[in-house]
Chain A
Amino acid sequence: AQSVTQLDSQVPVFEEAPVELRCNYSSSVSVYLFWYVQYPNQGLQLLLKYLSGSTLVKGINGFEAEFNKSQTSFHLRKPSVHISDTAEYFCAVSDGGDYKLSFGAGTTVTVRA
């Protein structure tokens, strides 16, 4: 099973500033990579996913992530955050064909005015 490390447990950021959330995973021949967001008292919503192809993946709400195979990383970025981006963000990984998701510990993003 994959091991997923989210390097930052909490990220405070001011509104309209950029944000980057870091995610590293244990190496494998092929992996599928995901970022999910969890707003307070809600389930998980998919932000974006990487299955194959271009290493730069664009998702919903202005988020994007870059797959770096040599560094086994899948960092999430947003150039300008809003108050509404305050949430918990989870990186998840699946070995190709396994269908099981392994989640990182999560990063709490708090956006302040």
Chain B
Amino acid sequence: SAVISQKPSRDICQRGTSLTIQCQVDSQVTMMFWYRQQPGQSLTLIATANQGSEATYESGFVIDKFPISRPNLTFSTLTVSNMSPEDSSIYLCSVEEGQSYGYTFGSGTRLTVV
């Protein structure tokens, strides 16, 4: 299965600033996903990122707050903009490999906003 490198693994940020999270995959994948896991909660899908097209955002998430780039088939970034303490969460990227419904997850970015 694909190996995902997600960076940074954790960060502590000041409110009002932005953080960009990177997700690098060791193989080409069509579909990449970004999830948020708030403290003690389950995972919520933020958006689906396909190469060559705009990301598709789920209800409650907007591009101005969570801009996503997908420049090629192995890389994506998620930016958390104008952060507030409510953005403190674990952010995870995920890929779907070859239409086999084999979803692989990165190790996550633990974000704390102070």
Contact = CB atoms under 8 A, between A and B. Distances in A.
A58 B110 CA distance: 32
The DSSP consensus for interface residues of chain B is strand
Interface stretch (B42-50, B64-72, B74-82): B42-50
Interface residues of A, number: 21
B42 A90 contact: yes
Nearest to A100: B45
Contact of A94 (B41, B101, B108, B110): B101
Given A43-B92, A44-B92, A51 B101 contact: yes
- Counting contact residues on chain B (CB < 8 A from A), the size range is 20 to 34
Contacts of A46: 102-104
A34 interface: yes
B113 interface: no
Interface in A12-62: 32, 34, 36, 41-46, 49, 51
Interface of B: 6, 31, 33, 41-45, 48, 92, 94, 96, 101-108, 110
Interface of A: 32, 34, 36, 41-46, 49, 51, 90, 94, 99-106
14 contacts: A34-B103, A42-B107, A43-B106, A43-B107, A44-B94, A44-B105, A45-B105, A46-B103, A51-B101, A90-B43, A99-B96, A101-B45, A103-B42, A106-B41
